[in-house]
Amino acid sequence: MIVFGWGGGHKVLGEGFFVHCPNCGNATQWTVVETSKRISLYFVPVAKWSKRYWMTCSVCSGGVELPSRQFAQQVLAAALQDPTEIPEHLERTLIERFR
């Protein structure tokens, strides 16, 4: 008997900035998450594809998709230094994505 499965999964990469959520109205520290599609064999992941990166609200799970892994890493690095202040070059991209 072969046991296999497929579906989606997510992995929390770290804590991002404190953001006022346009969806639920709460001001919380958002989380940077990687989502992907995967196949497993005997509950062991065999393949992953379609990776996407998100910054999500910790209250309502609403969020914005980040353009790339590199951008997600920049968000995490900047939030590690000061989670209350978003650098200007990151803020422009995030504001565009909130619309």
31 pLDDT above the threshold of 90: yes
Task: Of 53, 63, 52, give the one whose Cα is nearest residue 28.
Answer: 63
Both tokens of residue 26?
């709460």
CB neighbours of residue 32 within 10 Å: 23
What are the pLDDT digits (tens) for 77-95?
999 999 988 898 888 888 8
* Global confidence as pTM: 0.81
Cβ(54)–Cβ(47) under 8 Å? Answer: no
Which residue range forms the structural domain that includes residue 84? 4-98
What are the pLDDT digits (tens) for 10-21?
899 999 999 888
Quote the number of domains for the chain: 1
